[in-house]
């Protein structure tokens, strides 16, 4: 079939509706370059690009020829094969993505297991003082976020107490609460270890890694401060943390 000559670039191209299908239109209908060459051959005409006059000519095919070719057994079999191949490619890409996610998760978990947890060592009075101050700051922040005003709780607002904080010289709370505050303060000091979780985006992956990291941090605090071991274990159980591989939970 003889192809019409390329139109004059100065001549506006007005195509009747649905008379021609462009090469891009054929791809959207499931055609490949190979099936276009085999079943349609040369385009029926060339059309100037509607926006960029310097762009290559657009190959146009009469819709009657296109529809007739699409009814042929060769086109239908080729389209079915292309669909199957596309599906196989998508599955392969999906498997590759899942494998990449699994590798990234294993790498992060390995880093968490291998990273030494350096707990700051403080004497009992200093740790109690800092824990109470940290608690007071948190309560002030909560008050400000709720009321929208500057909080006034302060350290002196934490009272009702059975033991002194030592260096602080102000009333404290009961022993169990003070132990919780100490652990909260130490975990705050260890928050830079959260950087080990970078690279995990999916919620379930990050949750497992975060649980492992918290377990390691609790274990490191208990080792550095044996008097806090019982509270560390209680918090671990309350948070339903699992033991890291190769580690047996304390009784």
What is residue 162's DSSP assignment?
S
Query: 249 CB contacts (<8 Å, ≥6 apart)?
Result: 236, 243
What is the reported pTM?
A: 0.49
The per-residue pLDDT for 52 is: 66
pLDDT tens profile 121-136: 999 999 999 999 999 9
Residue 117 pLDDT > 50 = yes
Q: Give the pLDDT of residue 139.
A: 84
**Arithmetic mean of pLDDT, 73-94:** 61
Tokens in use for 22? 């462009």
45-47/58-62 β-pairing = antiparallel
pLDDT tens by residue, 183-216: 999 999 998 888 888 777 666 677 888 888 899 9
In this predicted structure, what is the pLDDT of residue 179?
93
- 187: Cβ contacts below 8 Å, ≥ 6 apart: 217, 221
């Amino acid at each position: 079939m003889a192809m019409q000559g390329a139109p004059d670039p100065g001549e506006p191209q007005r195509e009747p509706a649905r008379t021609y299908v462009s090469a891009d239109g054929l791809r959207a209908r499931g055609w490949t370059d190979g099936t276009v060459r085999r079943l349609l051959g040369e385009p029926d005409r060339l059309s100037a690009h509607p926006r960029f006059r310097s762009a290559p000519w657009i190959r146009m095919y009469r819709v009657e020829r296109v529809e007739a070719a699409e009814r042929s057994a060769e086109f239908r079999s080729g389209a079915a094969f292309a669909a199957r191949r596309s599906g196989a490619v998508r599955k392969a890409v999906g498997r590759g993505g899942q494998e990449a996610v699994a590798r990234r998760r294993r790498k992060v978990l390995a880093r968490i297991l291998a990273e030494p947890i350096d707990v700051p060592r403080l004497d009992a009075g200093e740790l109690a003082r800092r824990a109470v101050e940290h608690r007071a700051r948190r309560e002030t922040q909560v008050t400000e976020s709720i009321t929208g005003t500057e909080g006034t709780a302060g350290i002196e607002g934490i009272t009702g107490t059975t033991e002194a904080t030592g260096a602080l010289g102000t009333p404290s709370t009961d022993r169990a609460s003070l132990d919780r505050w100490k652990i909260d303060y130490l975990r705050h000091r260890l928050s830079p270890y959260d950087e080990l979780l970078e690279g995990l985006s999916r919620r379930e992956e990050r949750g497992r890694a975060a649980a492992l990291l918290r377990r390691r941090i609790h274990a490191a605090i208990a080792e550095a401060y044996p008097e806090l071991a019982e509270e560390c274990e209680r918090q671990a159980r309350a948070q339903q943390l699992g033991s890291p591989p190769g580690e047996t939970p304390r009784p």
